[in-house]
């Protein structure tokens, strides 16, 4: 019976770190203003382990008096879908230490998909790095809370 006491003590000691990790895991949830303030993206859970994001606000939502569409999309059938409400982040999973990786970001300005990772710098700042093949060949944008 005596060996159980150290295990219980160890569990009690380490439990606060588990709570901290759980809290960090959902730290990116909510609205973010993209670099340059052109749009706001809401990051949400797609399912129990992956995170996605969609455009919820545009500074310039109209083009020639009509809602902005995904006209740069390489698929003709998707060119008429509205940019407002468009899912641009998908497939991110929490990797620990305030890093979400393994995801993709879609750029409606170019119609291109990029591999991406996100790092929560602090509660108000998010670094999103889009890249081709490896993170070395990419660009980082700074997103902020509204």
Does 130 fall in a domain? yes
Does 1 fall in a domain? no
Does 9 fall in a domain? no
Q: What is the pTM of this model?
A: 0.83
Does 124 fall in a domain? yes
Give the per-residue pLDDT at 14: 47
Mean pLDDT by 10 residues, the chain (146 residues): 50 46 84 97 97 98 96 97 98 98 97 97 97 88 98
| H-helix or E-strand spanning residue 120 | strand 112-122
Does 108 fall in a domain? yes
Q: Degrees (nearest 5) of the Cα angle 53, 125, 25?
A: 60
CATH of the domain at 86: 2.40.128.520
Give the per-residue pLDDT at 4: 56
Give the per-residue pLDDT at 58: 98
Task: Give residue 97's domain range.
Answer: 26-144
How many domains is the chain partitioned into structurally?
A: 1
Give the per-residue pLDDT at 2: 52
Does 2 fall in a domain? no
Q: Is 120 exposed, middle or buried (0-12, 13-18, 19+ CB in 10 A)?
A: middle
Helix, strand and coil percent figures for the chain, each rounded to 5:
20, 50, 35
Give dist(CA 33, CA 87) in Å, integer.
15
Does 60 fall in a domain? yes
């Amino acid at each position: 019976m005596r060996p159980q006491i150290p295990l219980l003590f160890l569990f009690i000691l380490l439990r606060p770190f588990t709570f901290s990790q759980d809290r960090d895991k959902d730290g990116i949830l909510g609205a973010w203003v993209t670099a340059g303030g052109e749009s706001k993206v809401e990051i949400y859970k797609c399912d129990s382990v992956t995170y996605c994001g969609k455009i919820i606000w545009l500074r310039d939502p109209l083009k020639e008096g009509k809602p902005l569409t995904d006209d740069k999309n390489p698929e003709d059938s998707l060119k008429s879908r509205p940019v407002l409400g468009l899912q641009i982040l998908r497939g991110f999973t929490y990797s620990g230490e305030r890093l979400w990786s393994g995801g993709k970001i879609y750029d409606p300005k170019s119609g291109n998909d990029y591999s991406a990772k996100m790092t929560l710098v602090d509660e108000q700042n998010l670094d999103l790095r889009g890249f081709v093949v490896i993170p070395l060949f990419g660009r980082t944008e700074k997103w902020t809370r509204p």
